[in-house]
Amino acid sequence: MKRILLPTAILLCAFVLSGPVTFGQGARSGPDPSTIRDPELEEDSQHNLEVARLYFKLKKAYVAAIKRCEEIIAGNPNFAKMDEVLFIAGQSSLRLAENKGKQSSKLTPDQLRDDARTYLTQLVNDYPQSSFAKEAEEVLQGMGGPKKAEDKQ
């Protein structure tokens, strides 16, 4: 009896201790939440996002909003609110393509639509659980769907 009890107790302990490791390996959406973020870079990116929101929502300055978003994308690709950055960039590009807003772009409407499709596709693919993903998917359906890998070249 003692011979069976000790190995059984060891196996039970091993099973209990390995449980959190096994369940913690599920699929995630977006960047790894355990990514170490630079607080100063996050603060700077947050400021740029707030300015981009202001340009997008209140001023209808879509070119300026895109520039702020692109600054975040280039400087802090692991930003905690990258889904919103991609959404604002995509919607701003789309509105410029429709000749809306107070600014004009040097890009053609086709280039702007392509940029919008790129930003929104990245949002849908990388952040499917985002509160912006559903609206991005709806916009993409009107544009021929998300970009495929061969379209991104």
Q: Report the pLDDT value the prediction gives residue 120, as an integer from 0 to 100.
A: 98
* Confidence (pLDDT) at 58: 96
Mean pLDDT by 10 residues, the chain (153 residues): 62 55 48 74 97 97 98 96 98 97 94 97 96 96 86 54
- How confident is the model at residue 68, as a pLDDT? 98
Of 47, 57, 49, the residue nearest 101 (C-alpha): 57
Q: Are 69 and 91 in contact (CB under 8 A)?
A: no
Joined together, the tokens standing for residue 64 give: 């300026």
Selection from 41, 121, 34 nearest residue 83 by Cα: 121
Distance between start and end Cα atoms, the chain = 68
User: Residues near 75 by Cβ (< 8 Å), separated by ≥ 6?
Assistant: 41, 44, 45
pLDDT at 152: 52
For residue 37, the model assigns a pLDDT of: 85
All structural domains of the chain with their residue ranges: 39-152
Q: What architecture (CATH level 2) is domain 39-152?
A: Alpha Horseshoe (1.25)
* pLDDT of 149: 73
pLDDT of residue 64: 97
User: Looking at residue 1, what is its pLDDT?
Assistant: 60
pLDDT of residue 26: 45
